[in-house]
Amino acid sequence: MTRDDWLRWPSREALASERMTRPRRLLSWLVRAVFIGLLLWSTLFRGGIPGWRVALGVGLIGICAAALVAYFRATLEQRLRPSLASLGLVLVVAFVAHATGFELPAVVLWCAAAVMALERLPLAAAVIAATTSLTAFALVNEDPWTTTAAITAGLALAGYVLRLDAEARGNAQRLLAQERAARAAEAESAALDERARIAREIHDVLAHSLSAQLVHLEAARLLIEGGADRGQILGRVVAARSMASEGLAETRQALSALRGEMTPVEDFLRELVASDGASVAVAGERRVLSAEASQAVRRVAQEALTNVRKHARGAKVTVLFEYGEGEVTLDVRDSGGSAGELATSGAGYGLLGMRERAELLGGSLEAGPEEAGFVVRLKVPG
């Protein structure tokens, strides 16, 4: 054993009785109550005991009870001097009891003090206290020395076993508390991740839809102030209404995705490009993707096609979605074209948002000009 082992207190979890299971605590108190009751009955209420001895016995019992309560509190608070003082008072009560004719209670107190010292004190102090208690017991015991030696050794072993049992129970309780704390932290982290995911979905859907509506409505306001004809104004209002309708549909899709109710990615891509005349090709063996990977592909496809409408009107668009080994790849490329009227409007996260979404999943996103057009290539685990 190291020096720390001799000076270290048993853990608070090991010393705290309220941390014991309810059946074990009830059984412990029941055994103590029966034992103490029988001891008191056989000592104080047997015939032929003078009244003054009964009164003395009751007084000693009160002192001993107070000393034991103080001992348990001091050891729970890990205060050595009060613990030794209260245990020493118990030993003094035992000596007084033996001197006044209460031999059996004295023996019980000495033995109990030895066990309690080994169970609840630092090992160095426990050995000294237990040796003192067991030596007093051995000096007054009238049994053969072999029996006395066996009893003292058994008591010392019992006290140390109780110490080891309390330590094991305390370690188990600490591990359980740590596991609960880890689970709570994990649940909190998962909740924060889910909140961030929902925030990204709402931003990606609403930011683009609302910014496009704002552009059309602002144009309609300027047309009205400039006295434009009814057809031009109506066209802007209809365009804003169309954007609102698309935004509502995308919001519903995002909510369905958050609930795990998503259509296959390839079906979503075909529906997405239906109005643009773009082509969609799917390669590789199809499989079910995680919700995060599926949403990343959907949002990047939406953002890439939105950028084509804004910056390359009339361009030919091809979309390739490929199931690879351990990952999926989305390739959106256009042949180049003229900038649209929404080229100066915001569009969700844009390329930065798409790249962040990919990196959060351990993937990558590449975007840039290629030949006459522009290409966006996404790779994410899935």
**Tens-digit pLDDT profile for residues 149-181:** 898 999 899 888 888 888 887 788 788 888 888
Q: Is residue 52 part of a domain?
A: yes
Q: Are 306 and 273 in contact (CB under 8 A)?
A: no
Q: Is residue 120 part of a domain?
A: yes
State the pLDDT at residue 159: 86
State the pLDDT at residue 281: 92
What is the CATH number for 313?
3.30.565.10
Q: Is residue 193 part of a domain?
A: no
Q: What is the pTM of this model?
A: 0.48
Domain boundary among 142, 170, 198: 142
Q: Is residue 280 part of a domain?
A: yes
Q: Is residue 152 part of a domain?
A: no
Alpha carbon separation from 374 to 38, 183, 223, 317, 318 (Å, rounded): 94, 46, 33, 10, 11
Number of structural domains the chain divides into? 2
Q: How far apart are the first and last CA of the chain?
A: 53
Domain boundary among 127, 142, 157: 142
Q: Is residue 160 part of a domain?
A: no
What is the domain extent for residue 330?
Answer: 263-382
Using 50 as the pLDDT threshold, list the residues of the chain that sit under it.
342-349
Give every CB contact of residue 377 below 8 A, 6+ residues apart in sequence: 329, 330, 331, 332, 365, 366, 367
Q: Is residue 20 part of a domain?
A: yes
Q: Is residue 158 part of a domain?
A: no
Alpha helices (H) along the chain: 3-7, 12-15, 22-44, 51-76, 80-99, 103-120, 123-140, 145-225, 230-258, 265-272, 291-311, 350-360
Domain boundary among 99, 116, 142: 142
Q: What is the pLDDT of residues 40-72, one digit of tens each?
A: 665 655 555 666 777 777 788 888 889 888 988
